[in-house]
Amino acid sequence: MRCTYACGTADHALSRRSFVGGLLGGAVAAGLGAVCTGTPAIADQLKSSQKRVLNIFLHGGVSQLETWDPKPNTDTGGPFRAIPTSVPGMHICELLPFTARQMHRLAIVRSLDTKNGDHGRGTVEMTTGRKQMPGTEYPHLGAVAAKALTPDRFPLPGHILIPAGGPGKGEAAYLGPKYDSVVLKDGKAPDNSERPAGLSPEADDRRNVLRMKANDRFAGRRRTADTDAYTFSYDQALQLMARREVFDVTKEPAADHDRYGKHEFGQHCLLARRLLESGVPFVQVNHSNYDTHYENFDFHIEQLGEFDRPFATLVADLADRGLLADTLICVMSEFGRTPRINKNYGRDHWGTAWSVLLGGAGIKPGAIIGKTNDNGTQVTDRVVDHGHIFHTVLKGVGVNSKAEFDIGGRKFPIADPAKDAITELIA
């Protein structure tokens, strides 16, 4: 969709399909563990041990009032009704009828106060769990999850981003390029992951034998951390190339393409299911653009109409295939939108009282955490922020978020040590 309603900041200077993905290069080294084929049989083998995270990022700032915390019949509520869900007493906006049927598997946090209304800063803080500070970089949630959850000898990337607008790459910061996101532009396999047509398999094998001999000879005299990282990255890239069909969503049944929808977000959700079934520890799917300064209600009808059915289908499929118990789902944004409706029938940036959706893995299904006042202008119970969400996601997949990573002999807290998980949300 061509959006004309965004705020005009640099964050929205590009169209939904023009974000540049990362090259295979060092990012491919994000992969480390078991050989998987993306089938339900493999899912049965994975579900008893390996944890995964699915993060849906609604870029631009989705309205909490048109999603998880509706306020009908108030001065801020807008034109939409609140509808009952599969959890008695829980209501969400009528724009999400399919998701409403899956809420017994999900939970809502309605009390975020991140004190931020900037797109770039909000994106960084929600995906790193830390306040953005000049000169300081923290690893993306996907990088942390990949380092903590990726099994040994895993042949696929541990941190995958399917962009379609929104944040274009998940940086690993001090965790190293091994854990940077591999970006699947347009939902396709990573760049440079296919052998050139003019190179036969036999010639490629001979070339790699020569490369390995040269590497071994060099390492015998001048081995360094950099040469080891290069060799590891190259070897992992070869393993990824051998399993390239994992990224090919056309392998899925035609009926599943119909259920998810033939549009971009539907196909990206189907690809996310395929990747999670293949054991990828962290998958992020972006959906853009919710920056509705103008005609908020019309654009949320369109955006959420595209989001609702594929997301609900993905939740149901993960549950039916036995994967939801080990897959934590988070639906986040960089902030919410103002309760006050502006003169252009839009809602502006709002970090004071908004919502995030969680579910699966170690999250208590059907829970509602926190509360806002009658017209949604402030949090009245259980204030939390990006740091609490970050801890909660990690705790939900069994990671001790209060622990530290040892990077080159230095200790780095896995998450903001001043925060903790929302304990009442952990099952």
Q: Which two tokens stand for residue 65?
A: 């009032």
| 20: pLDDT strictly greater than 60 | no
Output the pLDDT for position 233: 67
Longest dimension (CA), the chain: 75
Long-range CB pairs of 34-38 (<8 Å, 24+ gap) are 34/151, 34/153, 34/154, 34/279, 35/155, 35/243, 36/156, 36/246, 36/277, 36/278, 36/279, 37/243, 37/246, 37/278, 38/245, 38/246, 38/251, 38/274, 38/275, 38/277, 38/278
Output the pLDDT for position 57: 97
Residue 55 phi/psi, 5-degree rounding, is: -110, 120
Q: How confident is the model at residue 3 (pLDDT cuts 50, 70, 90)?
A: low
| 36: pLDDT strictly greater than 50 | no
- State the average pLDDT over residues 218-227: 77
Weakest mean pLDDT among 136-150, 218-232, 253-267: 218-232
CA distance 187 to 310: 15
The answer as to CATH 3.40.720 being correct for domain 10-192+246-425 is yes
Query: What percent of the chain shows pLDDT beyond 90?
Result: 70
73 cis-preceded (ω within 30 degrees of 0): no
In this predicted model, what pLDDT tens digit does every residue of 244-301 receive, in sequence order? Answer: 789 999 999 999 999 999 999 999 999 999 999 999 999 999 999 999 999 999 999 9
| 39: pLDDT strictly greater than 50 | no
Output the pLDDT for position 198: 78
Q: How confident is the model at residue 243 (pLDDT cuts 50, 70, 90)?
A: confident
| 179: pLDDT strictly greater than 50 | yes
